[in-house]
Amino acid sequence: MSDGFIVVLALLAFAVITLLKGVRIVPQGMEWIVERLGKYHGTLHPGLNIIIPYLDNVAYKLVTKDIILDVQEQEVITRDNAVILTNAIAFIKVTDPIKAVYGVTDFHEAIRNMIMTTLRSIVGEMQLDEALSNRDQIKARLRVAIADEAIDWGLTVKSVEIQDIKPTDSMQKAMEAQASAERERKAMVTRAEGAKQSAILQAEARLEAARRDAEAQVTLADASAEAIKRVAQSVGPGDLPAMYLLGEKYITAMGRLAESQNAKTVVLPADIQDTLRGLIGRVKA
């Protein structure tokens, strides 16, 4: 094999390699950044592209589709010094490849750290209960807070979602103990209120019973006075009305005594009238 043939073969191989290095096929959903002699020269879009070999170099290959960026879980301290765990997920899109590669060292890490820092700041302004119940508010504030910086880096933040926000294990145990104590306190208040209402009702019942007893005694007294008055009108003045009423009560009492199971023998005086006169005489004395 002659030296001339080897040279031609080498030149042919060099030409093929040069041609291959000058042809770039960019896939759909990507854009490539080309540098010429270390300086930005142009952007290759999807499809067939031609560059100058050995002068131009594909320095960066960027995905222009939506990028799912996972933000790791971190501890956040709320305004009332409660420790909670939270993590998020962001959906971003490269809209300006030049800013994305030359405006920041690593836009993935930059956005991730900005979300973490902003999330700590937002949650740190909230009470524990507020942070746990206002996930949508946190998400909206987080997206607005990082939007401007993302634009400076050639990025668009399409959405930021809070994946999880929860107390730490120790904080959760403390919250459960606090909730249990609060339930016990409410139960004690309810029992005390019930006892109070029961005592009030019992006192009111006793008061009502006493009032009714007094009314009954007054009614009985009025009835007795009326009975004496009518008997006096019927049998005449003197001791006869009293004897009549005492005799009636005496006979009623003797009847009840006779009906009692404990009574074995009932002795009646021979002269009830004299007995009644004796009772009246003792009363007068």
Residue type, 130: E
**Residue pointed to by tokens 């300086």:** 39
Q: How far is CA 245 from the centre of its chain?
A: 77
pLDDT tens-place string over residues 176-223: 677 777 777 887 888 888 888 888 888 888 888 888 887 877 787 777
- Domain coordinates of the chain in residue numbers? 3-63, 67-173, 198-232, 238-285
As a whole number of angstroms, the distance between CA 43 and CA 33 comes to 5
Rounded CA separation 239/89 (Å): 110
Grouping H, G, I as helix, E, B as strand and the rest as coil, residue 136 is helix
Please state the rounded mean pLDDT for residues 118-145. Answer: 87
Short-list 150, 85, 148, 149, CA closest to 119: 85
- What does the pLDDT read at residue 61? 92
Q: Where are the beta strands (DSSP E) in 23-123?
A: 23-26, 30-36, 39-44, 47-50, 56-63, 67-77, 83-94
Residue 60 burial (10 A CB sphere; 0-12, 13-18, 19+): middle
Query: Beta partners for 166?
Result: 85
Q: Whole-structure pTM over 0.85, yes or no?
A: no
DSSP, collapsed to helix, strand or coil, labels residue 195 as helix
State the average pLDDT over residues 110-120: 91
Rounded CA gap, 22 and 52, in Å?
5
Q: How many CA atoms lie within 13 A of 230 on its CB side?
A: 7
Does position 108 have pLDDT exceeding 60, yes or no? yes
Cα of first residue to Cα of last residue in the chain, in angstroms, is: 172
Mean pLDDT of the 142-148 span: 87
Residue that the structure tokens 């730490």 belong to: 168
User: What's domain 67-173's superfamily in CATH?
Assistant: Band 7 domain (3.30.479.30)
